[in-house]
Amino acid sequence: MPHPLVDQLRFARAEFKRGLSDVVGPAAQQRFGRMNCISWMVGHLVWQEQRYWLQRAQGQILLPELNELLAYGKPGSTPPVEEMWAAWQQVTQAADPWLEQLTTDYLRSPILQGFSSIGTFMLRTIYHYWYHLGEGMAVRQLLGHTDLPDFVGDIDNQAPFRTEQGEPLDEKMDKDRLIQLVFESRIQWDDLASRVGEGHMLEPGPSGHWTLKDVIAHLTWHEREMLGVLRERALVGSDLWELPLDERNQAIYEQLRDLPLEQVKRESKQVSQELIQELEKLAEEDLHDPSRFREMPAEWLPWKLLAENTYQHYQDHLPALNAWFGKV
């Protein structure tokens, strides 16, 4: 699971894109007085992400032309917005594997000798997105656009508060809230997956060989395992749990990769519905008392096991699904 600060960066990115990505053509290049045009804003944020996460953190420059055209202090310009969104997609995808590995200790360290911490640069980038999003919405109003997106968006599902371990600060959970989180994360996932469309579900993803069908089957495997735990009130499940994470994921992939898409979709829907039904049968005490589940270690909290393999698991894969949507 990524660090909570990375979640917030991704949410800021998503809100920036949600607010401005449907402004195309000459409208995206129009300037009002000294205000920046929307295409420049997109490119400027791309320049910043490349400068911080690729150039300073890893010594890489993916698109050197960004430094010449869109750096802070450069003269105002009006680049084609389609090119800027393509560059944005390319740079953010290149940065994500590095961002995924960040820990609190890493965030405390300087991004480069003599510079502020990575965490400070992370906050600077998040706030920079919101700064230019506000500017972009002002430009949209000057362009005469109506029915603009409302902000802030669905932060409750996409980037809610959590500690580094993924739980609320007080480590408490009630049954209604758990069911709501599971249900809403599934709705969010299904909505975005439907926009990708069946025609693209068998294509490899932007950052790997798994297809979207493979990811859906992977999520269903984990939910089916939780069904067994709930029905048996015991820590039962596949022998694959004994494998290291990467080996287990590969084994799950190999088991399920030949299943037809329609079967994967059907089983995903069925298991999701059955999971909600089993969660409804829980008592509040079941969520916090491992002794109510045979063979469960005494230091475990049952709700955390369920969360990690349901709604938190969907959140883990949302960046990849967003990348699919962007690719399509």
Residues 6+ apart with CB under 8 A from 141: 148
Quick one: what percent of the chain has pLDDT higher than 70?
92
Mean pLDDT of the chain: 88
- 315 to each of 158, 319, 320, how far by Cα in Å? 7, 8, 10
pLDDT tens, 153-196?
777 767 777 766 555 444 578 899 899 889 988 888 888 778 77
Cα(304)–Cα(307) distance, rounded to whole angstroms?
5
At residue 317, the pLDDT reads 80
CA dist 42 and 81 (Å) reads 8
- Report the pLDDT value the prediction gives residue 153, as an integer from 0 to 100: 79
Residue 145 is predicted with a pLDDT of 92
Mind listing the domains of the chain with CATH numbers? 4-157 (1.20.120.450), 165-327 (1.20.120.450)
* Predicted pLDDT at 71: 80
Does the pTM surpass 0.75? The reply is no
Q: pLDDT tens-digit profile of 65-88?
A: 998 888 887 788 899 999 999 999
Q: What is the pLDDT of residue 174?
A: 87
pLDDT (0 to 100) of residue 188: 81
Tell me, what's the pLDDT at 170? 46
pLDDT band at 149 (very low <50, low <70, confident <90, very high): confident
pLDDT digit string, tens, across residues 97-134: 999 888 888 899 999 888 999 999 999 999 999 999 99
pLDDT value, residue 288:
92
DSSP labels, 51-109? IIIIIIHHS--S-THHHHHSSTTSPP----HHHHHHHHHHHHHHHHHHHHT--HHHHHS
pLDDT band at 52 (very low <50, low <70, confident <90, very high): very high
pLDDT tens column, 195-216: 777 777 887 765 567 888 999 9
